[in-house]
Amino acid sequence: MGADMNVAGRPTTPAPEFANALRRVTDGATGLIANTATGLIADAYALIRCADDDLPALLAAAGALRDSHKGRVVTYSRKAFLPITNLCRDRCSYCTFRKDPGDPGAWTMRRDEIRDWLTRARALGCKEALMCLGDKPEAAFPEYRQTLRALGHASTIGYVREACEIAIEVGLLPHTNAGVLAADEMTALRPVNVSLGLMLENVTPRLRARGMVHQNAPDKEPARRLEMIAEAGRLRIPFTTGILLGIGETPEERVDSLFAIADLHAAHGHVQEVIIQNFRAKPEIPLADAPEPTASEMARAVAVARLLLGGEMNIQAPPNLSPNDHRLLLRAGINDWGGISPLTLDYVNPEAPWPAIVALAATCAEEGFTLRERLAIYPEYVDGTFLDPALAAPVDALASTITGEDIHAPAPS
């Protein structure tokens, strides 16, 4: 094998410590590395802190593992993003989505709005309905409890279930991110959702300390989030989770979080995709002046996630949050871009527009990949174990509309 090239285009030889760590992790990465007792945790720490000159070798190893299991196909889901309510009892210092009742921009979507947006989305070819909302708003706001009563519901989850039923009627497959849910709430949502999601963000409780980003966010307690993800596994619910970079965590804590996800998936087999997401600074948040993760930090995290979680895991990075780094993310080992909407904003990061599908397809092609559409549930989870029987017919109907053909940019006229 020839020498790797550094960012200046000069050949570089990996440092012995890095090379040995990469060899040991790569040797173990034939599948999921799901136990920190394997002794590889120190090696993973070394990889995520590798020098710039060693980064090409790390990306090459992660990309090769992805290629050996996923080939050179990268996917996305055509979705509508429905912010059912942006009321939330948590106050994370990097969030612009959450609101209190009466704040400018606070809302709870009404039935007619939900149906209208979903109908428009289906006409544009969307197949996923992402239901996104704040955490436990009825626990914090009496005004919102009155809103729920006026809508005929005693709980937010009851209303979200109704919204999911509307989506299925219209012809879309719901995927719900509703914060931390109890087992009975997930059980109620399972028949009307092909998958559920909750970002782990990070496993360290340090971020809950005074002055840290989750000080005023009780639902960001890592133990609560880990327990929900585990409970979803026990309920056999396909699940999306991931880590958030740039909120005060260390590179080692990113690795710890990936190991925690690996352990959960090893126990239950239900984690269908893992998102590596980067914090984006916004002028109206307490972290307005905080540094965003660099492109190389994102690449290191994606590559280490690929090596630790294995070649079969679906690894995703949001394309709208790294618009200039799509090629680098592909090289780092992703095989999915997540949901992209032709209709709705990313209401969590409204300043970051979705990429045009044809432009993304062109970038993928230039890097030697083909871009294909997928459903909100990955094919390996469409079975009697993970997919609720009530959703088999809607999934089959929408799967039949995905041709499997590659997406291409239009030829120049």
What is the predicted pLDDT for the residue at 13?
52
- Highest mean pLDDT: which range of 41-45, 236-240, 346-350: 236-240
Q: Is the dihedral of CA 49, 73, 353, 175 positive or negative?
A: negative
Structure tokens at 108: 């709870």
What is the predicted pLDDT for the residue at 287?
87
What is the predicted pLDDT for the residue at 309?
95
Q: Look at residue 34 and tell me whether its pLDDT is greater than 60.
A: no
Q: Look at residue 102 and tell me whether its pLDDT is greater than 60.
A: yes
> What are the backbone angles phi and psi of residue 194, rounded to the nearest 5°?
-75, -20
Q: Look at residue 35 and tell me whether its pLDDT is greater than 90.
A: no
Structure tokens at 206: 């340090």
Percent of the chain with pLDDT over 70: 91
Domain boundaries, the chain: 70-399
Which amino acid makes up residue 203?
A: V
Q: Look at residue 177 and tell me whether its pLDDT is greater than 90.
A: yes
- Radius of gyration of the chain measured on its C-alpha atoms: 21
DSSP-based three-state secondary structure for 140 = coil
Which amino acid makes up residue 380?
A: E
CA-to-CA distance for 326 and 344, rounded, in angstroms?
A: 21
Mean pLDDT of 48-56: 96
Mean pLDDT of the chain: 92
Q: Look at residue 412 and tell me whether its pLDDT is greater than 60.
A: no
pLDDT band at 30 (very low <50, low <70, confident <90, very high): low
Beta bridge partners of 243: 201, 276
Cα–Cα nearest to 80, from 173, 198, 181: 173
pLDDT band at 410 (very low <50, low <70, confident <90, very high): very low
What is the predicted pLDDT for the residue at 406?
56
Q: Look at residue 279 and tell me whether its pLDDT is greater than 70.
A: yes
What is the predicted pLDDT for the residue at 365?
98
CA-to-CA distance for 152 and 339, rounded, in angstroms?
A: 31
**CATH class of this structure's domain 70-399:** alpha beta
Mean pLDDT of 32-50: 80
What is the predicted pLDDT for the residue at 27?
82
Cα–Cα nearest to 340, from 147, 79, 141: 79
Q: Decide if 78 contacts 402 (C-beta within 8 A).
A: no
DSSP-based three-state secondary structure for 389 = helix
Q: Choose between 283 and 171: higher pLDDT.
A: 171
What is the predicted pLDDT for the residue at 284?
85
Q: Look at residue 363 and tell me whether its pLDDT is greater than 70.
A: yes
Cα–Cα nearest to 5, from 47, 55, 65: 55
Q: Look at residue 59 and tell me whether its pLDDT is greater than 70.
A: yes
- In this structure, the strands spanning 4-5 and 11-12 are antiparallel
Percent of the chain with pLDDT over 90: 85
Structure tokens at 49: 């802190």
What is the predicted pLDDT for the residue at 384?
85
- Return the minimum-mean-pLDDT range out of 111-115, 156-160, 285-289: 285-289
Structure tokens at 261: 């996800």
CA-to-CA distance for 109 and 125, rounded, in angstroms?
A: 22
pLDDT band at 36 (very low <50, low <70, confident <90, very high): low
What is the predicted pLDDT for the residue at 40?
86
What is the predicted pLDDT for the residue at 377?
98
Q: Choose between 404 and 372: higher pLDDT.
A: 372
How much helix, strand and coil, in percent to the nearest 5, is found in the chain?
45, 15, 40
CA-to-CA distance for 251 and 301, rounded, in angstroms?
A: 8
Q: Structure pTM?
A: 0.92
What is the predicted pLDDT for the residue at 288?
87
Q: Look at residue 78 and tell me whether its pLDDT is greater than 90.
A: yes
CA-to-CA distance for 146 and 148, rounded, in angstroms?
A: 5
pLDDT band at 4 (very low <50, low <70, confident <90, very high): very low
> What are the backbone angles phi and psi of residue 284, rounded to the nearest 5°?
-95, 10
In angstroms, how far is the first alpha carbon of the chain from the final one? 42
Structure tokens at 109: 């979507």
